[in-house]
Amino acid sequence: MRKRAEEIPVRFASPEPQVRLVSAFARPFDGAVAAARTCYSARGIVTAEQVGGDEIDDPDKRRQALERRDALAVDIYRAGHHTVFQHAHFSFAIDRVSRHALWAFFHAHPFYNSEQVSQRYVRVRSDSFVIPDLPPEQKSIYIAALEDAQQAYRTLREQLQPVAAAAFFAVFPARARQPQAWKKEIERRAQEAARYVLPVATWARLYHTISALTLLRYRRIAGQSDVPAEVGRIVESMVAAVLRWEPAYQKILQPPIEAAAVPPQIFGDAGLLGEPRRADAFRRDFDADLGDRASRLVGYAADAEGVVARAVREVLGCSHGDLSDQQALQLAADPARNPVLGETLNLTTLSPLSRCLHHAHYTFRKRLSHSADSQDQRHRMTPGSRPILLAHLGNEPDVAYPSLIADDPTARAVFDQAMARTWEAITRLRRAGTPAQALAYLLPNAVNVRFTESADYLALRHKHAMRLCYNAQEEIWRASRDEALQVREVHPTLGRFLLPPCSIRDRCHQRPVCPEGKRYCGVRVWTQDVAAYSRRI
Burial call 377-390: b when 16+ CB within 10 Å, e when fewer? bbbeebbbebebbb
Over residues 80-93, mean pLDDT: 97
| Separation between Cα atoms, residue 416 and residue 197, nearest integer Å | 9
Instruction: Identify the CA nearest to 442 among candidates 88, 25, 241, 150.
Output: 150
- Taking CA atoms, 367 is separated from 91, 314, 476, 516, in Å, by 32, 38, 10, 28
Cβ-based burial of 212 (10 A; exposed 0-12, middle 13-18, buried ≥19): buried
Residue 42 pLDDT > 90: no
pLDDT, position 121: 85
The pLDDT-based confidence of 395 (bands split at 50, 70, 90) is confident
* Better-predicted residue by pLDDT, 254 or 225: 254
| Average pLDDT of the chain, as a whole number | 92
Sign of the alpha-carbon torsion through 12, 395, 443, 374:
negative
Candidate from 176-190, 244-258, 439-453 with smallest mean pLDDT: 176-190
In order, the DSSP letters of 414-460 are: HHHHHHHHHHHHHHHHHHTT--HHHHGGGSBTTBEEEEEEEEEHHHH
Candidate from 4-8, 138-142, 374-378 with smallest mean pLDDT: 4-8
Instruction: Give residue 194's domain range.
Output: 136-201+402-438
Residue 272 pLDDT > 70: no
- Does the residue 414 lie in any domain? yes
pLDDT, position 436: 86
* Total domains in the fold of the chain: 1
- Taking CA atoms, 350 is separated from 150, 345, 347, 388, 464, in Å, by 47, 11, 6, 36, 19
Answer yes or no: are the C-beta atoms of 483 and 297 closer than 8 Å: yes
pLDDT, position 271: 45
The pLDDT-based confidence of 270 (bands split at 50, 70, 90) is very low
| Separation between Cα atoms, residue 388 and residue 227, nearest integer Å | 10
- Does the residue 393 lie in any domain? no
Answer yes or no: are the C-beta atoms of 450 and 387 closer than 8 Å: yes
Answer yes or no: are the C-beta atoms of 338 and 354 closer than 8 Å: yes
- Does the residue 278 lie in any domain? no
- Does the residue 119 lie in any domain? no
The pLDDT-based confidence of 402 (bands split at 50, 70, 90) is very high
Residues in the chain: 537
Question: What region, left, alpha or beta, does residue 44 occupy, with left being phi > 0 and alpha being psi -120 to 50 degrees?
Answer: left
Strands 89-98, 18-24: pairing is antiparallel
| CA angle (164 as vertex; 158, 169 as ends), nearest 5 | 135
Answer yes or no: are the C-beta atoms of 499 and 530 closer than 8 Å: yes
Tens digits of residue pLDDT in 101-154: 999 999 999 999 999 998 888 888 888 999 999 999 999 999 999 999 999 999
- Does the residue 147 lie in any domain? yes
- Cross-strand bridge partners of residue 363: 299, 454
Over residues 321-336, mean pLDDT: 96
| Separation between Cα atoms, residue 171 and residue 182, nearest integer Å | 13
- Does the residue 386 lie in any domain? no
| Separation between Cα atoms, residue 456 and residue 459, nearest integer Å | 6
Query: How many alpha carbons fall within 13 Å on the CB side of residue 397?
Result: 20
- Does the residue 162 lie in any domain? yes
| Separation between Cα atoms, residue 478 and residue 197, nearest integer Å | 20
| Separation between Cα atoms, residue 453 and residue 447, nearest integer Å | 18
pLDDT, position 266: 56
pLDDT, position 275: 77
- Does the residue 161 lie in any domain? yes
| Separation between Cα atoms, residue 441 and residue 229, nearest integer Å | 12
105's CB contacts (< 8 A; 6+ apart) are 222, 225, 226, 227, 231
pLDDT, position 461: 97
Specify the pTM.
Answer: 0.93
Query: How many alpha carbons fall within 13 Å on the CB side of residue 289?
Result: 17
In order, the DSSP letters of 455-512 are: EEHHHHHHHHHHHSSTTS-HHHHHHHHHHHHHHHHHSHHHHTT---HHHHHHHTT-SS
The pLDDT-based confidence of 7 (bands split at 50, 70, 90) is very low
